[in-house]
Amino acid sequence: MKIGFIGLGNMGGPMAANLAKAGHEVTGFDTAGVTIDGVTVAASAEDAARDRDVVITMLPNGAILRAVADQVIPVMQPGAVLLDCSTVDVESARAVAAQANAAGLSALDAPVSGGVGGATAGTLTFMVGGDEAGFNVASELFDIMGQKSVHCGPSGNGQAAKICNNMILGATMIVTCEAFALADKLGLDRQAMFDVVSTSSGYSWSMNAYCPAPGVGPQSPADNGYKPGFAAELMLKDLRLAQQAAEAADADTPIGAAATALYAQFVEDEDGQGMDFSAMLPRFEGRGHKS
């Protein structure tokens, strides 16, 4: 396939490299002017998108996605697929999809889970919103860049799935960290706590697969000085997207709102910037009871 790839950062770069390695003809563009093995560098986003079967975007936010869509949709060939892998607000995803559909294109919103490690290894999970025809065309590419893709329904539903998942993740990580800090103060050994909770009704991905306590459970960022596997500021971005969606949809999400406020405090007022999202544990260790 002829593929245009716009946004060759920490995530987009390795994804584009994997597509090129698999034998696809990839033309890429990034405002930072980076070069990727096997990827032909284009002078502009328009040049990267022209005469391509699929144009993939991996961008920081909805405003940038809308701006790039305005540039590339007019030059894309009829019947091509606009595949956005960014994590953005649901409204932007749906607006760009409507714009693409009106121009005779298929549009997919396909945010990912798996981080930079998953992008490099080609083991990402894609949550996909959009039309069936576009999904069928892109499936081959999902198989190269990732290990799983789930078609979640119409445009915007990929973003909806991502933010609902990460709202659960953010809230469960916070309470897992709180529980370890409480266990410490009650004199309960962390290994004993893990052995009980990981095989009892309190188990979760945050506890079992990504334990925030160093030296307990499988290897995680806690064992590497909380260097990010998933940065706290990225969790904050996703939680804010969830709250924006909740407001737009008139959904009551008080725990999601509380998690958002705590990560905002951690990232913006404390030392959470640049730390893994599980570094909430050392944050809670030094704190006392609030009446």
Kindly list the catalytic residues.
162
CA pair distance 8, 5, nearest whole angstrom? 7
Closest CA to 95 of 248, 237, 247: 248
**Which residue type occupies 163?**
I
Q: For residue 175, how many C-alpha atoms fall within 13 Å in the half-sphere facing its CB?
A: 14
CA pair distance 291, 275, nearest whole angstrom? 28
Closest CA to 113 of 121, 124, 123: 124
- The end-to-end CA distance of the chain, in Å, is 61
As beta bridge partners, residue 113 has: 125
Residue 77: which residues within 8 A CB-CB, separation 6 or more? 50, 51, 52
CA pair distance 69, 98, nearest whole angstrom? 11
Contact call for residues 194 and 208 (beta carbons, < 8 A): no
